[in-house]
């Protein structure tokens, strides 16, 4: 184990909570010590749900470890059933309770409750949150979807529109609620009905109808691919796992779904324009061409962001990684297409070092990368969980579908535009005409009394703040020359999107010449040297 300030994923029981919280009529009994109820805040304070998760914690204390903790668990299961009367229950242990090996599944089975009770075995010290959500959904589908069809069962699909299930949206998911709205619109436009959405909004009884669909749509492979594979094997239901994030991917998604359903995709594709392709072809988009972007997040969103950045916006992907180790192969394969090595890690310090080394001009990542980019002075947009409350907007803000492509267009482009504006403001902050102490130029016709008062008591310009220190790479910090204050100030005048390159080139120039101090002259000598 490793102590850390931040973590990209919680333990697997958090993934199970995401599935349970997304559903109705399902209750989760979690064998856990006092203090594990912190997880409720993820849903009520971060996601801003109106109700707490349907979870009962045993909350045993240290003094209980010398007694029968198994009895505590059995009492909690019985009390939860009597209080909530759910259609089904899932039971399991948190990472701490896993160590005492009380066997929640066996204990719950001994109670002989009149409802399905599905045990979860979630190894907290080997697996993480997304795997826990995937395993929980798989176990629920396997237990509640019913027996496979018999050989003499009547064929599906006669006399009705094509029917599909949507698999994957959960509670605490990044824009899952809004993505689902967009996908429903696309399917309806294709003439396809939705049978069941699992787990978001489903009940255990709904899972019993999964086998009625013609095929399945997997929106988030980390969560739903295992369940889709089981349904394919058991009910002979094919599935589409093309993630419709970005214009090109949405087109491929529509075509794949239409092929399974036997419908014509042309009307849907013709009637769903996006502004992203238009902007990419416009004159203004030349500002974006070749921008260096570093991408990190869960596999679904990181892979989609890399393809959009490279093929739809003309960025250069200089870093691509994920913390979802189960999808390392896919991420490495995509990174190879961009001529880079995929970063598979869950240590934010390693991610920060990779961002610095890439000399990126834009970071697309999680809330952790947002903090990292802020320290490094690089624009950043959040495109993946883990996320904070501001990434659960009350407004409709999807990532998927053609409207999601519009949202992503804003998400990717605005940080660069605002970053340029901030650079220009900083560049002219000390100008004699535009500094902070000068009144607005559009208010030139001041009343005489104000003008005379201004002459008698001229406004003093505020003191110029000291420039922020220049961050040096750890590998060269011990041998790098120090920066003179005047040189630091001059470096800040270089646009942010090439400042990192200018800094590294100047430090290399100084090291090669054994210069102990980087002055303004050194900065310009280095510029001339590397500009040849």
* pLDDT tens digits along 401-430: 999 999 998 898 888 876 555 555 555 555
Q: Is the peptide bond before 254 cis (omega within 30 degrees of 0)?
A: no
Rounded Cα gap, residues 526 and 508, in angstroms: 9
Rounded Cα gap, residues 234 and 142, in angstroms: 9
Question: What does the pLDDT read at residue 454?
Answer: 46
310 within 8 A of 316, measured Cβ to Cβ: yes
pLDDT band, residue 499 (cuts 50/70/90): confident
Q: What are phi and psi of 482, to 5 degrees?
A: -85, 160
Question: What does the pLDDT read at residue 60?
Answer: 83
Greatest CA separation for the chain: 99
Region of 39 please: left (phi>0), alpha (psi -120 to 50) or beta: alpha
pLDDT > 50? residue 172: yes
Residue 183's DSSP bridge partners are: none
Question: What does the pLDDT read at residue 352?
Answer: 95
* pLDDT tens, residue by residue, 13-67: 999 999 999 999 999 999 988 878 888 888 999 999 988 999 999 988 767 675 7
pLDDT > 80? residue 264: yes
Binding site listing for [4Fe-4S] cluster:
36
- What's the start-to-end Cα distance of the chain, in Å? 51
Mean pLDDT to the nearest integer, 232-255: 96
Q: Which of 14-28, 220-234, 237-251, 482-496 has the lowest mean pLDDT?
A: 482-496
Instruction: For residue 323, count CB atoms less than 10 angstroms from its CB and return exposed for 0-12, middle for 13-18, buried for 19 or more.
Output: buried
Query: Residue 36, Cα to own-chain centre: how many angstroms?
Result: 24
Mean pLDDT to the nearest integer, 150-166: 75
pLDDT > 70? residue 126: yes
400 within 8 A of 185, measured Cβ to Cβ: no
- The DSSP output letter for 155 is P
Q: Which of 149, 36, 39 is nearest to 97 (CA)?
A: 36
Binding site listing:
36, 419-420
- Residues 6 or more apart in contact with residue 502 via CB below 8 angstroms: 491, 494, 523, 526, 527
* pLDDT tens, residue by residue, 342-386: 999 999 999 999 999 999 999 999 999 999 999 998 999 999 999
Rounded Cα gap, residues 406 and 355, in angstroms: 26
- Residues 6 or more apart in contact with residue 59 via CB below 8 angstroms: 32, 33, 34, 35, 36, 37
Percent of the chain with pLDDT over 70: 82
**Token pair listed for 390:** 């501001």
**Token pair listed for 52:** 């707490």
* pLDDT tens, residue by residue, 206-219: 999 999 999 999 99
Question: What does the pLDDT read at residue 230?
Answer: 97
pLDDT band, residue 284 (cuts 50/70/90): low
For 145, 183, 233, the CA distances from 243, given in Å and listed in that order, are 24, 11, 21
251 within 8 A of 404, measured Cβ to Cβ: no
User: pTM of the prediction?
Assistant: 0.79
Q: Which of 102-116, 364-378, 439-453 has the lowest mean pLDDT?
A: 439-453
Binding site listing for substrate:
419-420
For residues 478 and 144, the model is more confident at 144
Question: What does the pLDDT read at residue 286?
Answer: 66
Long-range contacts of 152-157 (CB under 8 A, 24+ apart): 156/212, 156/213, 156/214, 157/214
225 within 8 A of 185, measured Cβ to Cβ: no
Active site residues: 284
């Amino acid at each position: 184990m490793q102590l850390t300030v931040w973590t990209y994923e919680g333990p697997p029981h958090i993934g199970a909570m995401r599935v349970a919280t997304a559903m109705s009529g399902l209750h989760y009994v979690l064998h856990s010590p006092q203090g594990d109820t912190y997880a409720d805040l993820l849903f009520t304070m971060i996601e801003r749900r109106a109700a707490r998760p349907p979870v009962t914690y045993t909350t045993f204390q240290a003094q209980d470890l010398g007694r029968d903790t198994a009895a505590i668990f059995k009492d909690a299961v019985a009390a939860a059933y009597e209080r909530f009367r759910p259609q089904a229950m899932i039971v399991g242990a948190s990472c701490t309770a896993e160590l005492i090996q009380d066997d929640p599944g066996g204990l719950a089975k001994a109670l002989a409750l009149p409802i399905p009770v599905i045990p979860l075995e979630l190894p907290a010290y080997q697996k993480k949150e997304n795997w826990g959500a995937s395993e929980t959904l798989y176990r629920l589908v396997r237990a509640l979807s019913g027996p496979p069809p018999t050989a003499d069962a009547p064929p599906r699909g006669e006399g009705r529109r094509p029917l599909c299930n949507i698999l994957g949206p959960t509670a605490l998911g990044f824009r899952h609620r809004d993505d689902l709205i967009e996908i429903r619109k696309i399917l309806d436009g294709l003439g396809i009905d939705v049978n069941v959405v699992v787990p978001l909004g489903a009940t255990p009884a709904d899972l019993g109808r999964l086998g009625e669909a013609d095929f399945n749509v997997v929106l988030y492979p980390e969560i739903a691919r295992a369940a889709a594979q089981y349904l394919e094997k058991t009910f002979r239901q094919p599935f589409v796992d093309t993630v419709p994030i970005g214009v090109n991917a949405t087109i491929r998604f529509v075509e794949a779904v239409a092929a399974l359903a036997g419908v014509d995709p042309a009307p849907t594709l013709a009637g769903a324009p996006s502004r992203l392709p238009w902007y990419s072809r416009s004159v203004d988009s030349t500002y974006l061409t070749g921008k260096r972007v570093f991408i990190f997040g869960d596999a679904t969103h990181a892979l989609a962001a890399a393809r959009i950045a490279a093929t739809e916006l003309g960025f250069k992907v200089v870093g691509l990684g994920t913390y979802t180790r189960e999808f390392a192969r896919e991420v490495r394969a995509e990174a190879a297409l961009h001529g880079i090595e995929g970063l598979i890690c869950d240590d934010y310090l390693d991610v920060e070092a990779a961002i610095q080394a890439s000399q990126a001009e834009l970071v697309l990542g999680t809330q952790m990368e947002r903090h990292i980019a802020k320290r490094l002075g690089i624009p950043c947009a959040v495109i993946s969980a883990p996320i904070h409350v501001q990434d659960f907007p009350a407004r409709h803000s999807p990532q998927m579908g053609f409207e999601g492509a519009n949202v992503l267009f804003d998400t990717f482009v605005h940080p660069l535009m605002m970053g340029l504006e901030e650079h220009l403001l900083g560049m002219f902050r000390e100008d004699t005409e535009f500094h902070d102490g000068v009144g607005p130029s559009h208010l030139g016709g001041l009343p005489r009394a104000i003008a005379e008062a201004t002459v008698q008591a001229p406004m003093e310009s505020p003191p110029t703040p000291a420039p922020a220190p220049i961050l040096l790479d750890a590998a060269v910090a011990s041998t790098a020359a120090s920066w003179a204050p005047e040189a630091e100030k001059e470096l800040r005048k270089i646009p942010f999107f090439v400042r990192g390159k200018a800094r590294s080139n100047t430090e290399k120039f100084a090291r090669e010449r054994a210069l102990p101090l980087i002055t303004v002259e050194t900065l310009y000598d280095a510029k001339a040297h590397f500009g040849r």
